Amino acid sequence: MTTEIIKLKGTLATWLTLIYPLGTVFLVSLLWISTRNNKNITTDQFISNMSNTAAFFLPFFIVLMISVACNTEHKSAMMKHILSLPVPRPLIYLGKFTGIMVFIAIAFVLILIFTYSSLLLCGILFPGMGIGNSFNHLMLFRGLLSAFIGAAFIYSFQYWLGMRLRNLTLPVAIGSALIILPIAVMIIMGITGLITNKDNFTKIITYNPYSYPYSAAFNFVKSTDVKIFSTTSLVFITLSVIGLVLGVIEFNRRDAT
């Protein structure tokens, strides 16, 4: 794991880990500042916007992050060398996966840090827009954590794609298609009148593991109603573990040539 962290340090993967949380907080902060004169504005709206925006961009970040990290081995022709090392292959596979997950965990922490920094700055520049006594810290943490946990299946499956396919374009294209396709289908079915009940709109997004992390934004419910470990999340976590195990088995049997 340590080797993988050192290997990814200073690469595009590091920049993505910084750009994703910084860009998310920046966009929401701009919206927050633009509505500063609204008398009905509340910090709960800020938290909801932050959670939904972070959740929407999360699958794209994961797809790019993992694909870039895996491609570092392919573009430097290191995969053959790695497969020929006298080291148990399951350790190599899991070690690289763990190293990538460390960067994703850092992105989660950075979102929290940047969020509070933004609120502090807004409080200084625009009194009354800061954290205040009514800020729901648990609501922010739950909203972000539920999205990262909801993306469980993407971690293992996208990692397998990245380690299996020998280029950057194809894993990113497959991952992006899986993220966007449910929204496209939902829009088309809505336009054609095949879906009229708003509850049916969410099912298309919720049942797809690549769009599930941001499904709460389409659920028409308050962020406080979002569960960290919902039934669907537990299902995707289970599938993720199974996918990781199958990935280890496949990697262990892979031909070094």
For 130-177, write each residue's pLDDT tens digit. Answer: 566 577 888 889 989 999 999 999 999 999 999 888 888 999 999 999
For 207-216, write each residue's pLDDT tens digit. Answer: 889 999 988 7
Question: How many domains are there within the chain?
Answer: 1
Residues 6+ apart with CB under 8 A from 164: 250
Whether the CB-CB separation of 101 and 155 falls below 8 Å is answered with yes
For 60-114, write each residue's pLDDT tens digit. Answer: 999 999 999 888 877 766 767 777 777 788 888 898 899 999 999 999 999 999 9
* Dihedral over Cα of 156, 201, 54, 60: its sign: positive
Ranges of beta strands (E only) in the chain are: none
Cα separation, 130 vs 123, whole angstroms: 4
- What pLDDT score was predicted for residue 222? 45
Tokens 């570092």 belong to which residue? 72
Mean pLDDT over the full length of the chain: 83
Determine the Cα angle at 182 with ends 102 and 138, to 5°.
45
Instruction: Let me know if 54 is exposed, middle or buried by CB neighbors in 10 A (0-12, 13-18, 19+).
Output: buried
Q: Which of 191, 226, 207, 211 is nearest to 47 (CA)?
A: 226
Q: Which of 237, 189, 236, 197 is nearest to 220 (CA)?
A: 197
Q: Element (H or E) spanning 80, and its range?
A: helix 79-83
- pTM value is 0.88
Residues 6+ apart with CB under 8 A from 156: 97, 240, 241, 243, 244, 247
Structural domain span for residue 7? 2-253
Neighbour-count burial for 103-130, b at 16+ CB within 10 Å, e otherwise: bbeebbebbbebbbebbeebeeeeeebb
Q: What is the DSSP string of 104-152?
A: HHHHHHHHHHHHHHHHHHHHHHSTTSS--TT--HHHHHHHHHHHHHHTH
Q: Is the pLDDT of residue 221 over 60?
A: no
